[in-house]
């Protein structure tokens, strides 16, 4: 965690500038192992990973910062009531009414089943290498369905453990996916039967397509994604164009409106931002500076100048982390990402 406190007058504690993720990490660290573990049981793999990383990065947390986090939490708790206790039926009906049966189906399972998800969902908790080993000898269409089902960044990491020709074949299949029949999902659960259990359900599932392929390729290293896109275009130029139009890369942040940039910056630590901007062009750097306070922009400029040479891989990792935050915020409706294509996020 890297926060900058505003200057304080004599006898006053400095103002605390913690993003929501850091606050959640501090709160969990303050609860004790057992209580924190109970909270994490109700979260998905991505949330657990993000919180675990944030907790690991906590350094030199001051007592007054802990007090601020606890006070903020208590303020939130005071606004809550007992409404909703045991209201599974109400939640199910509400989500179906709001989102429709198809969109609500997977979300309902995730909310109501919590940590007891099975089958394909269990893969989301596994290391990418383990997932790759499980599906390595399966038919490419099965591999494509698995990658389309997982989160894009995990799928991209799994893809790195495959030979180049396999990557190309699988990504072409991901881009061509539309809906998956229950029999296909049942086949996947049968493949995983020894490790996991679960039922396939009776409805087709919308996964894959150009957007999913673009998101997975976005999460690959630049050299790998570039070679893969070149190969896709050689086989099917129109398909390559469709995927390219939906890809959102770090440089596309130049096209995002100022209000969204400001919201995004509030969720990004200064350490990650500095690393990411080391690989950005001057136009994007100025875009970032323009959406910060004058003082904060000056500090960031100084930090960038003082930062010595950094590894390209570290820059790419920082940029991907910011893009992950941006996509999450876009999915939650907090910001809108412009860029190459319509409905990108």
Please give the DSSP secondary-structure letter assigned to residue 115: G
Q: Report the pLDDT averaged over residues 259-283.
A: 90
- The answer to whether the 93-246 and 250-331 domains have the same CATH topology is yes
- In CATH, what class is 93-246? mainly alpha
The burial of 22, by beta-carbon neighbours within 10 Å (0-12 exposed, 13-18 middle, 19 or more buried), is given as: buried
SS3 content of the chain, % helix, strand, coil (to 5): 65, 0, 30
State pLDDT tens for residues 104-116.
555 555 554 444 4
In terms of average pLDDT, the best of 107-121, 144-158, 211-225 is 144-158
Dihedral angle computed from the Cα positions of residues 312, 316, 317 and 322, in that order, rounded to the nearest 10 degrees: 140
Q: Is the pLDDT of residue 290 over 90?
A: yes
Other Cβ atoms closer than 10 A to 202? 7
Other Cβ atoms closer than 10 A to 19? 17
Task: Report the candidate in 2, 60, 53 with the shortest Cα–Cα distance to residue 28.
Answer: 53
Q: Where are the domains of the chain?
A: 20-73, 93-246, 250-331
Dist. CA 39–CA 57, nearest whole Å: 19
According to CATH, the topology of domain 250-331 is Annexin V; domain 1 (1.10.220)
Reported as a pLDDT band with limits 50, 70 and 90, residue 342 is very low
Q: Report the pLDDT averaged over residues 198-225.
A: 68
Q: Is the pLDDT of residue 6 over 60?
A: no
Contact 337, 330 (CB under 8 A): yes
């Amino acid at each position: 965690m890297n926060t900058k406190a505003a200057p304080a007058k004599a006898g006053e504690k400095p103002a605390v500038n913690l993003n929501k993720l850091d606050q959640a990490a501090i709160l969990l660290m303050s609860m004790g192992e057992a209580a924190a573990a109970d909270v994490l049981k109700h979260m998905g793999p991505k949330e657990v990973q993000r919180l675990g990383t944030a907790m690991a990065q906590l350094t030199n947390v001051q007592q007054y910062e802990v007090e601020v986090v606890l006070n903020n939490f208590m303020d939130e708790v005071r606004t809550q009531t007992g409404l909703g206790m045991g209201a599974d039926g109400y939640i199910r009906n509400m989500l179906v009414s709001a989102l429709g049966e198809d969109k609500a189906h997977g979300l309902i399972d995730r909310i109501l089943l919590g940590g007891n998800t099975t089958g394909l969902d269990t893969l989301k908790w596994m290391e990418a290498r383990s997932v790759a080993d499980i599906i390595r000898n399966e038919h490419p269409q099965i591999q494509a369905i698995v990658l389309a089902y997982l989160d894009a960044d995990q799928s991209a990491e799994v893809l790195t453990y495959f030979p180049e020709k396999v990557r190309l074949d699988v990504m072409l299949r991901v881009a061509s996916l539309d809906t998956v029949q229950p029999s296909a999902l049942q086949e996947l659960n049968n493949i995983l039967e020894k490790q996991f259990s679960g039922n396939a359900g009776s409805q087709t599932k919308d996964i894959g397509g150009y957007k999913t392929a673009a998101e997975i390729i976005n999460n690959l290293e630049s050299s790998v994604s570039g070679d893969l896109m070149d190969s896709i275009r050689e086989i099917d130029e129109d398909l390559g164009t469709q995927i390219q139009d939906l890809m959102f890369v770090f440089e596309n942040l130049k096209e995002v409106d100022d209000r969204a940039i400001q919201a995004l910056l509030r969720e990004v630590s200064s350490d990650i931002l500095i690393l990411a901007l080391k690989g950005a062009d001057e136009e994007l750097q100025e875009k970032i500076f323009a959406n910060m306070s004058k003082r904060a922009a000056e500090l960031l400029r100084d930090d960038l100048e003082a930062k010595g040479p950094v590894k390209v891989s570290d820059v790419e990792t920082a940029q991907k982390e910011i893009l992950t935050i941006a996509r999450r915020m876009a999915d939650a409706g907090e910001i809108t990402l412009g860029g190459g294509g319509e409905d990108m996020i």
